[in-house]
Chains A and B, each alone.
Chain A
Amino acid sequence: MNKIPNRQAICEVLMEKVKTDHDIVVLCSDSRGSASLAPFAKEYPDHFIETGIAEQNLVGISAGLAKCGKKPFAASPACFLSTRSYEQCKVDVAYSNTNVTLIGISGGVSYGALGMSHHSAQDIAAMCAIPNMRVYLPSDRFQTAKLIEALLQDEKPAYVRVGRNPVEDIYTEESCPFEMDKATVLREGDDVALIACGEMVRPAYEAAALLEEKGIRATVLDMYCVKPLDKDAVVEAAGRVKAVVTVEEHAPYGGLGGMVSQVVGANCPKKVVNLALPDAPVITGTSKEVFDYYGLNAQGIAKAAEDALK
């Protein structure tokens, strides 16, 4: 079982890159511990800015830094970053086109029993609706590292959501195929396409194995790039299967499911089933308990795929 959460992978990449890229700046809003960025703050205090519990300030300051040539990474719980500072994300980052990478930590229902104030089941919808904002939900630590390295290569705004807990590896150190803004095809099959992002990629991948036992062949896409969505990959996958199932740790509206449905509907109409959290405060529990309850696990995804094919 992997013990390294994706947030720690971000810290490791930034600690390595800052040695040669002196424009990297990390900002936290009293969140360096929960963002796994305390080692960075300790080792590179001249590249770290603490804003206190002030998310609007966190993002505004980041935009000002970027405007003066810095490469800020602003890390704060996704629930606050995507709502409390939403207007700064919209105006100071996206609209002003500043090179800020927003890191939403403890995303989705990571905070489990802390309740709806701490869940960020709306962040994909909110961030995707902002012109010039890119939205990424990497699936495992290896892909997270590749994504951060890629984001350091361009100068455009981006929002990255990662969860709090370690997730099972999908890729390996040696084998982590990654192309910016292109979905990774984990598996190919002609019956059903499973398209997932973030922590839902692993159960979707496991669901494909369960389906295979029943003679159902699944394509599995790791759609870490929710925006810009890899439309070509969606059309290609949907074109050769009978039904599509999307899976995300997000509210049922405005997320990956809606975006995939739009593309499939316009290009290759097929049945599309969207698996997501409910349009309601989620039940109290750990991420795993919550996912199991709502069928956002391998068994639930496999059953939804089977039902979609009936």
Chain B
Amino acid sequence: MVDLKAMSYDLRKNVVDMIIEGKGGHIGGDMSVMEILVALYFDAMNVGPENQDDPGRDRFVMSKGHCVEALYAVLAAKGFFSIEEVIANFSKFGSKYIGHPNNKLPGIEMNSGSLGHGLPVAVGMALAGKMDAKDYRVYTVMGDGELAEGSVWEGAMAASHYKLDNLCAVVDRNRLQISGNTEDVMAHDDLHERFKSFGWNVIDVDDGNDVDQLIAAFAEAKTVKGKPTVVIANTRKGCGSSVMENKAAWHHKVPTAEEYEQIVKDFADRKGALS
């Protein structure tokens, strides 16, 4: 899986280029969620441009929609659209590559941006799969700060009530949100127990920026019957460069020229260290 690990660093560079060109973006969360998206799109899910209209395709909802830059990079790598086009147009006047997912673009199922929406929508998609006896799976990625939204727990209740074992939620547990540490803003360090008490199967991933660990977690989730699974991926906000790593100030930020140079160097170094 060295391929996917290396690819994650290449895609990180695309994200940073997007944010430089578009003069803004949620860079910290993009970096933390990258391996989650890579593991989903390049291993766990059976979705790509070739089957994007197939009713049997797996479904994905980006609940933490503000990290659309990472999603654009991954969808482009899957061949849904060209990365050059995204980088050149991101956030610019009249662009279709806006700062949150929009389903006018290929590969994006649902518009998001306001937090707490993805899980209920994913529950609906999973219910439809059960009603039609289809075997597709539904995935949604939420941020950890997002879990303060009450609608997340409405969705969590329903997923468990309807025994949606075709649903897998992922929490990008990077422990930082715009105002600081999640435990200071609104604590949920007992996340594992919370989901468990809602009737979910809970898988903790020690390093949510390790593609191998994520792939193993998603494979395990597929074997669980009778209940939905949540993968709590312990990630690092700003992962990939010491310039940004674990710094709340990098929730939404454009690197300076100097920072850009260091960030790109860090990506290259870490990619190099893989082999």
- Cβ of B64 < 8 Å from any Cβ of A? no
Q: How far is the CB of B57 from chain A (nearest CB, A)?
A: 10
Q: How far is the CB of B139 from chain A (nearest CB, A)?
A: 12
Chain A residues with CB under 8 Å of B138's CB are 64
Task: Name A64's contact: one of B103, B122, B132 (CB within 8 Å).
Answer: B122
Find the B residue at minimum CB distance from A70. B128
- Cβ of A25 < 8 Å from any Cβ of B? yes
| Interface contact A60-B121, CB-CB below 8 Å | yes
| Interface contact A63-B110, CB-CB below 8 Å | yes
Given A67-B121, A70-B128, A96-B103, A61–B158 Cβ distance below 8 Å? yes
Residues facing A in B93-123 (CB within 8 A) are 103, 109-114, 116-117, 119-123
Task: Name B155's contact: one of A60, A62, A68 (CB within 8 Å).
Answer: A60
Task: Name A63's contact: one of B113, B121, B126 (CB within 8 Å).
Answer: B121
Given A60-B155, A92-B110, A96-B110, A46–B131 Cβ distance below 8 Å? yes
Find the B residue at minimum CB distance from A66. B124
Residues 46-76 of A, flagged 1 when their CB comes within 8 A of B and 0 if not, give 1001011010110111111111111010000
Chain B residues with CB under 8 Å of A66's CB are 124
CA distance A97 to B155 in the complex (A): 21
Q: Tell me whether chain A's interface is mostly helix, strand or loop, or mixed.
A: helix
- Cβ of A87 < 8 Å from any Cβ of B? yes
| Interface contact A54-B128, CB-CB below 8 Å | no
CA distance A92 to B155 in the complex (A): 14
- Cβ of B151 < 8 Å from any Cβ of A? yes
CA distance A72 to B155 in the complex (A): 17
Task: Name B114's contact: one of A51, A52, A65, A87 (CB within 8 Å).
Answer: A87
- Cβ of B129 < 8 Å from any Cβ of A? yes
| Interface contact A67-B158, CB-CB below 8 Å | no
CA distance A70 to B128 in the complex (A): 7
Chain A residues with CB under 8 Å of B155's CB are 57, 60-61
Chain A residues with CB under 8 Å of B124's CB are 60-68, 72
- Cβ of B272 < 8 Å from any Cβ of A? no
Residues facing A in B125-149 (CB within 8 A) are 125-129, 131-132, 138
- Cβ of A171 < 8 Å from any Cβ of B? no
Find the A residue at minimum CB distance from B134. A68
| Interface contact A67-B127, CB-CB below 8 Å | no
Chain A residues with CB under 8 Å of B111's CB are 91-92, 95-96
- Cβ of A122 < 8 Å from any Cβ of B? no
Chain A residues with CB under 8 Å of B120's CB are 56-57, 59-61, 63-64, 88, 92
| Interface contact B117-A68, CB-CB below 8 Å | no
- State how many residues of chain B have any CB contact under 8 Å with chain A: 33
Residues facing B in A152-171 (CB within 8 A) are none
Given A56-B150, A92-B117, A97-B103, A68–B128 Cβ distance below 8 Å? yes
Chain A residues with CB under 8 Å of B112's CB are 91
CA distance A60 to B129 in the complex (A): 16
Find the B residue at minimum CB distance from A98. B110
Residues 82-114 of A, flagged 1 when their CB comes within 8 A of B and 0 if not, give 000001100110011100000000000000000
| Interface contact A49-B117, CB-CB below 8 Å | no
CA distance A131 to B8 in the complex (A): 37
Residues facing B in A173-213 (CB within 8 A) are none
Task: Name A61's contact: one of B109, B116, B123, B129 (CB within 8 Å).
Answer: B123
Q: How far is the CB of B271 from chain A (nearest CB, A)?
A: 36
Chain B residues with CB under 8 Å of A97's CB are 103
- Cβ of B157 < 8 Å from any Cβ of A? yes
Chain B residues with CB under 8 Å of A57's CB are 120, 123, 151, 154-155, 157-158
Q: Which of B61, B112, B151, B157 has the most CB of A within 10 A?
A: B151
Given A56-B154, A57-B158, A60-B151, A88–B117 Cβ distance below 8 Å? yes
Chain B residues with CB under 8 Å of A54's CB are 154, 157-158
Q: How far is the CB of B77 from chain A (nearest CB, A)?
A: 24
Additional A-B contact list (17), CB under 8 Å, known A25-B131, A57-B120, A64-B121:
A56-B150, A56-B151, A57-B123, A57-B158, A60-B117, A60-B119, A61-B124, A64-B61, A65-B128, A67-B110, A67-B121, A67-B124, A67-B125, A67-B128, A69-B128, A92-B121, A96-B103
Report which A residues bind B (CB closer than 8 A).
25, 46, 49, 51-52, 54, 56-57, 59-70, 72, 87-88, 91-92, 95-97
Can you list 22 A-B contacts with CB-CB less than 8 angstroms, sorted by A residue number? A51-B158, A52-B154, A54-B154, A56-B116, A57-B154, A57-B158, A60-B119, A62-B124, A63-B110, A64-B126, A65-B124, A67-B128, A68-B129, A70-B131, A72-B124, A87-B117, A91-B111, A91-B112, A92-B111, A92-B120, A96-B103, A97-B103
